[in-house]
Structure 1
């Protein structure tokens, strides 16, 4: 029986990632920039790592980890083809059913991969259990409003042609959900932040081609299984914003950072334990509730 909570067709995701192994070089500049931005966060810690798991690295993460002196790297992916190209010891797996023993890694990096997982909280729990105490978790995934221009254009086009619509662009998480997901999975010191990676295409069809090359086309279970009308994508392209430079596309990258629980980690202060008033630290005058500040 199908899982009623499932959002994505995982088999289709795997097939498209398999095919992308031969075409992802067409979007290499985007992937390389995203990989560099994620791994720059390793420069913010003095901790040295020896055993890393990278998921979805596409051959970009493992070499960068090796260059930082990490000697043992597992390259995992839902796609066997991409796992084989990862750069570390290849493991084809389902991110929702991890095969690793507890305390196997001191660093886990998930690169543009977890947005295709149906049970993201469950996957994060499994990843945390696979980590040693005080291990570092890094993840990068697209978040809203990524591809909002395309989402709006396809809705308008399909409504015009069919009088209704079906999902054409994947749902993405919001930044405000990031730290909560990490905390729910048992990570400490959770941080979620976002960066914009501005993209500009000569026309909308170049954007469509890049999504196919990266294996990032629609895999929502509730998608319309019928062949799209011939006019759908040309009409959607006509609805896309465009200026003299070309067609802009939004790519918002959400970076998640968290640590597996361990001894000696900083802990939040107990409420009411502060010894210095905030007003004193800010050099401001403190006013009571309801008191008029005036001038």
Structure 2
């Protein structure tokens, strides 16, 4: 019996393009970096806690360049590929650390991506992967529903429920798998600023079949709905759930 076909929800080309746009946008002084910086700092703290000092590291998705620089400064040989297909076997392997900043929120075959990460590790190597999870962006979701109440289009990514992640890691053969979550709450004066921050952070739309842009009336409804959730100071709280996956390849290399 053949394996069931994997649905094509996301476009690899659009996933690459959103990361490239984030790299270009970081040249602006007010470009949002807080999500990437939170993930990077968490990665470094975990490495310190685990006393894991990699000799060879593969850094994926860090459009800021900060993580690669910090690992290099600590003596690691760091590979930062310009382009890598998360859903295909890697052409290089033997890394004792792989970090993934974002990216896994927009893959079609998440179990396959997790298998490829494990396979690229040296025996005993460590993966630390961060991405935004299923409880993220409630205010934006409500605004999009208000914009098109009769026939809402697919405008926001389906996101991974972290409760499903432990089973995915075990299925992918990760050893000592751990799933953690924490929330970032950011307060916005407008819907437009939130959307700009998502684009700055490499979290723009990567859907394979994106919906047409909102019309003027729908966009006005979305802005109004977003503002209606504001606190007394006129700012609306938005939540980003950060999911962290850690695990190893076994010492036997399986």
Partner Cα distance (2:100, 2:35) in 1: 16
Give the gaps of 5 or more residues in structure 1. 77-82, 84-91, 264-295
Task: Tell me the SS of whatever aligns to 2:114.
Answer: helix
Alignment: residue pair count = 241
- Tell which structure's C-alpha radius of gyration is larger: 1
CA distance 1:47–1:209, change in 2 (3 Å): closer
How does 1:1-295 map onto structure 2 within 5 Å?
A: 5-24=7-26, 26-58=31-63, 59-67=65-73, 69-76=74-81, 83=82, 92-102=83-93, 104-159=94-149, 163-224=150-211, 226-240=212-226, 241-245=229-233, 246-262=235-251
Structure 2 runs not aligned, ≥5 long = none
Judging changes above 3 Å, is the alpha-carbon distance between structure 1 residues 205 and 11 closer, same or farther for their aligned structure 2 residues? Answer: same
Q: Deviations over 1:57-86 (max 9, x none)?
A: 11122112223x24211113xxxxxx3xxx
TM-score (norm 2): 0.88
Q: Quick one: distance in 1 between partners of 2:154 and 2:191?
A: 18
TM-score (norm 1): 0.76
SS of 1:250's partner is strand
Distance in 2 between residues matched to 1:50 and 1:4, nearest whole Å: 35
- Residue 234 of structure 1 aligns to a residue whose secondary structure is helix
